[in-house]
Amino acid sequence: MDWIYFLDLFGTFVFAISGVTTAINKKFDLVGTLVIGFVTAIGGGSIRDLLIGNTPVGWLNDRNYFIAIIAAYCCAYLFKHVVMSYRKSFFLFDTIGIGLFTILGINASLASGLNPEICLIMGVISACFGGVIRDVLTNEIPLIFRKEIYASACFLGGLIYLLLRAVSDWENVNVLTAMAVVMLVRYLSIRRGWSLNFS
């Protein structure tokens, strides 16, 4: 599925921009912004690969991920004013990214022979933990610990993907459907103010 690979690179690019723009807002220097962009883009997948014993971690075996991160870093600075002006539009790309990375994380874990419920957790880690590292390093409360629906959207989409895999051999449809669930739940939660905070 070459299109999944290219979407993965695109998601890496967008997550890196998310990290770089966050660091710019925090007045980090050039090295600091690169570090934050890097860990945001590959942090979740690296943690997943380490947990399942898939080493060297994925991005070390493919220089295209490194190129995507450097390209994002350069774009964030070259077009800083444009990026910062339209930063809210990256919500869409971030949502696409977490949907995609959830499914990629599940597939990588299934390929390692893990149980489906563990694969589901690995999918959520892949999608969310780059952002957790970014938020911790920039002294923010991680998004998954706030009232916004974020990790739970990944969990639901991943669960639906596993269920679809059990009954359907149309892998492309399964992937797109599960991604759409993550994106829709995330979008509606922001649009309508949904949260899991019942206090």
Q: Are 129 and 47 spatial neighbours (Cβ–Cβ below 8 Å)?
A: yes
Average pLDDT over residues 41-60: 93
Please name which of 95, 88, 89, 92 lies closest in space to residue 150, comparing C-alpha atoms: 95
Q: Which pLDDT score, from 0 to 100, does residue 66 have? A: 95
Tell me if 49 sits within 8 A of 57, measured CB to CB: yes
pLDDT average, residue stretch 156-182: 94
- Model confidence at 88, pLDDT cuts 50, 70, 90, reads low
pLDDT at 1: 53
The mean pLDDT value for 182-187 works out to 92
Amino acid letter for position 165: R
Neighbours of 84 (CB within 10 A): 12
Entry pTM: 0.88
| Distance between CA atoms of residues 34 and 22, nearest Å | 11
Give the residue, 70 or 93, on which the prediction is more confident.
Answer: 70
| Residue 94: count of CB within 10 angstroms of its CB | 19
pLDDT at 199 over 70: no
Distance CA 55, CA 14 (A): 24
Q: What angle do CA 137, 18, 31 make, to 5 degrees?
A: 55
- Which alpha helices (DSSP H) does 140-170 contain, by range? 151-167
- DSSP assignment, residue 61? G
CB 138 within 8 A of CB 147: no
